[in-house]
Structure 1
Amino acid sequence: MARVVNVDEYEDLARVKMPKMYYDFYAGGAEDKWTLRENRSAFSRIRIRPQVLVDVSHTDLTTSVLGLKIACPIMVAPTALHKLAHPEGELATARATAAANTVMVVSTSSSHTIEEIADTGPGIRFFQLYIFNKVRAMELVARAEKAGYKAIVLTVDTPILGRREDDLRNRLVLPPDVSMKLIDGIGEQHSQPTEPGSSLAAVASEYKDKSITWKDVQAFMKLTKLPFLLKGILTKEDALKAIDICVDGIIVSNHGGRQLDHVPATISVLEEVAITRNSCYVVAAAAGRCPVFVDGGIRRGTDVFKALALGASGVFVGRPVLFGLAIDGEQGVKKVLDMLKDELRTTMVIAGCPTLAHINRSSVQTPEEKPSSKL
């Protein structure tokens, strides 16, 4: 594993090592996978504008998220069923994330319980919430708060699962020793699909609450004292609604290209949402901060740099963590986070940005902008 020098190489190894059904579950996207590919390619169209002759002898990547200090603005996104990648599943991911001194968002679709993951030791953990039914969701929020989780992240773009054709083709089923521990008992009859399709899609289609609205979000926010973030915002209109109900943070996300195909790449709409955030400090009733984060397609430190320049307070990475876990367990996750952090530091130094505060809108050029002709 010492020869792995970037996160894509972990995916190459995982493609060979993992059973095809489970690799496809992690790697796949919705329908034609246009958005899945666009999440990556959109980053390549953004150019970095380096500043030279800047004192970069000392660099600082530390930042605060919801008042919590972390080592760098690279965090672990919520992803399902880590035990498909490694026997220790989310327990190994949690230990590695804590060692990297950053945030792990634990999924409702985890293969370990909230409490088991908390028992791995100290660490900053958020809990990502799916609403299969409102009573169960309320119980999960209470359990997360009791177990020491620091925030709730409600995913809002999944009334049903997107059409993930690899899973349908593979007739995705879970092995006997793996289950979604937090929703055990829901949809057990779908453990083996009775017709071509994915068992997980069958569960989601039958049991996900499709009636959730902004009013329900407000009700859930009142259930906890924890900060409340919304994940799955892609438009300024929804960003404004989120700010109006005083959420504590927004995650710009298209679910890794796994839900609705042909929506834009997250980096392409990040600035629209981030600018909405800034302008609403004055005009909206939601006083105080509403940081904007982003996930989707982040594979390089340069990607992180570009996201920060376009208004993100931090980024979340998903698939690279899973593939690092698949190949080298806890150490693989730690190495993925370390590689991205080291790449970000290198980018900052060469671009003339010794601290995160030095990264700003002038640090990048988007496809819509023409290079300045002024001398």
Structure 2
Amino acid sequence: MSKEKDFTIRDIREDATKKLGKVHSEYINEGAMGLITVQANELAYNRYRIIPRILRDVSNVDTSTTIFGTKVTFPFGFSPAAMHMIAHPSGEIGTSSAASKAGIAMGVSHWATKSMEDIIAAGKNAEGYGYKALLVTVDAPIIGRRLSELRNGIGLPEGMSFPNVVEDDGSTPNNFKNTVRDASTQFSTFLPWLVSVTPPTMEIWLKGIYHPEDVLLASSYPIAGIIVSNHGGRQLDTAPAILEALPACAAAARSPHALHLRSKLGLSRLKVGIDGGIRRGSDIFKALALGADMCFAGRIPIWGLAVDGEDGVSRAIEILRQEFEVTMMLAGCISVGEITKESLAVVEGGVPGIISRL
């Protein structure tokens, strides 16, 4: 991939869409029904403005943070996403290698097209590498109505399979036909069981929480964090954008009631991540200012893979890291901890409109 050609994630997405072909590009880029939530996830960031600060010493900005007990270069990582091999033969191995070299976190999907062992081996050169957390998707008691998948169908090309999924006969499938979902799963039965079967050395994060009341429910269990996510707009269309749901969820995690529940467990507050709509380093800044501790994206590494394999993923990471660092410097923040809502204004009455401080 030409570094002179791709300067933004949008550039990479456009190149990837051309290379992926109709079926796979629509599977990756689209979502449920009319794509209202897919589009809103990105557009919501435009409602916020970052207020610059001047004449501050920003010569040594520190973009790093800690997630899953490990220091990362900046508060961004890859969320679990299926079928990386449809974008490039290296699949999740290429993604893992790029993530480890960049010093960021990566989530691995149950529906990965490379084995868990091979994926983690690709990241072995990273300090503190290994599987540190269990990210459990909780927003899919049923699959959303995804029109592109209904029209095109979706599965793996011949020769690919899901090596981490084993059928009753010992085979590994190459489609989702035998997937079983339990729509009766509830907090009161699922969370105690999940905690009981998870090694104590692994953190548990619930991915797909969207309502403040669910944040409070999650706070009463010995888990480490939540990820505010609408499954990339692939589940319930017209659900609020990620950035519209984040402030209330972040406030709930920091509320006196939630902190009391956590103190009874001998734990600090729930960490709050988001997954969805991130396309610029400034988006990461805005999410942190609105209460997120960490940002994730699932489509970006697949776009990078499609364009240039592992090198394409590395380029995507570096674009976001550079944009995030520049944003921090121009906003006068020298560490991630200094990013607060004081750096933001919100546009009221449309874009452009009246700017109000938060």
Q: What's the TM-score, normalizing by structure 2?
A: 0.90
The Cα shift of 1:371 comes to 4.6
From the superposition, tell whether residues 168 and 186 of structure 1 become closer, same or farther in structure 2 (CA, over 3 Å): farther
The Cα shift of 1:317 comes to 1.4
Residues 294 and 316, structure 1, Cα contact 8 Å, conserved in 2: yes
Structure 1, unaligned runs of 5 or more: 127-146, 193-198
* Cross-structure match for 2:154: 172
* Cross-structure match for 1:264: 240
Q: Match of 2:184, as an amino acid? A: S
From the superposition, tell whether residues 372 and 213 of structure 1 become closer, same or farther in structure 2 (CA, over 3 Å): closer
The whole-number CA distance in structure 2 between the counterparts of 1:187 and 1:28 is 34
Residues 348 and 355, structure 2, Cα contact 8 Å, conserved in 1: no
115-124 vs 36-45, which deviates more? Answer: 115-124
Residues 93-172 of structure 1 correspond to what in structure 2 (within 5 A)?
93-122=95-124, 148-172=130-154
Query: In the alignment, does 2:33 pair up with 1:50?
Result: no
Deviations 1:5-57 (A, max 9, x none): 01111111111111211111111110011000000110111111222221111
Q: Match of 1:273, as an amino acid? A: C
The whole-number CA distance in structure 2 between the counterparts of 1:187 and 1:125 is 38
Query: In the alignment, does 2:186 pair up with 1:213?
Result: yes
Backbone CA RMSD of aligned residues: 2.4
Give the secondary-structure state (helix, strand or coil) at the position aligned to 1:348.
Answer: helix
Query: In the alignment, does 2:336 pair up with 1:356?
Result: yes
Residues 191-270 of structure 1 correspond to what in structure 2 (within 5 A)?
200=176, 202-204=177-179, 207-214=180-187, 215-223=189-197, 224-225=199-200, 226-270=202-246
* Cross-structure match for 1:132: none
The whole-number CA distance in structure 1 between the counterparts of 2:76 and 2:123 is 20
From the superposition, tell whether residues 187 and 300 of structure 1 become closer, same or farther in structure 2 (CA, over 3 Å): farther
* Cross-structure match for 2:93: 91
The whole-number CA distance in structure 1 between the counterparts of 2:356 and 2:117 is 54
Q: 1:283 aligns with which of 252, 257, 260?
A: 260
Query: In the alignment, does 2:346 pair up with 1:366?
Result: yes
* Cross-structure match for 2:64: 62
Give the secondary-structure state (helix, strand or coil) at the position aligned to 1:240.
Answer: helix
Residues 4 and 10, structure 1, Cα contact 8 Å, conserved in 2: yes
Give the secondary-structure state (helix, strand or coil) at the position aligned to 1:366.
Answer: strand
From the superposition, tell whether residues 92 and 282 of structure 1 become closer, same or farther in structure 2 (CA, over 3 Å): closer
Q: Match of 1:151, as an amino acid? A: A
* Cross-structure match for 1:347: 327
Residues 102 and 124, structure 1, Cα contact 8 Å, conserved in 2: no
Give the secondary-structure state (helix, strand or coil) at the position aligned to 2:291.
Answer: coil
Deviations 1:248-290 (A, max 9, x none): 0110000000011110011111111111111145432343131
The whole-number CA distance in structure 2 between the counterparts of 1:282 and 1:367 is 32
Percent identity between the two aligned chains: 36
The Cα shift of 1:368 comes to 5.7
* Cross-structure match for 1:134: none
The whole-number CA distance in structure 2 between the counterparts of 1:188 and 1:16 is 37
The Cα shift of 1:208 comes to 2.0
Give the secondary-structure state (helix, strand or coil) at the position aligned to 2:191.
Answer: helix
* Cross-structure match for 1:273: 249
The whole-number CA distance in structure 2 between the counterparts of 1:186 and 1:74 is 37
The count of aligned residue pairs is: 344
177-186 vs 240-249, which deviates more? Answer: 177-186
From the superposition, tell whether residues 319 and 372 of structure 1 become closer, same or farther in structure 2 (CA, over 3 Å): closer
The whole-number CA distance in structure 2 between the counterparts of 1:9 and 1:282 is 43
Residues 36 and 238, structure 2, Cα contact 8 Å, conserved in 1: yes
From the superposition, tell whether residues 313 and 42 of structure 1 become closer, same or farther in structure 2 (CA, over 3 Å): same
The whole-number CA distance in structure 2 between the counterparts of 1:8 and 1:186 is 42
Residues 102 and 317, structure 2, Cα contact 8 Å, conserved in 1: yes
Give the secondary-structure state (helix, strand or coil) at the position aligned to 1:340.
Answer: helix
From the superposition, tell whether residues 87 and 304 of structure 1 become closer, same or farther in structure 2 (CA, over 3 Å): same
The whole-number CA distance in structure 2 between the counterparts of 1:166 and 1:355 is 42
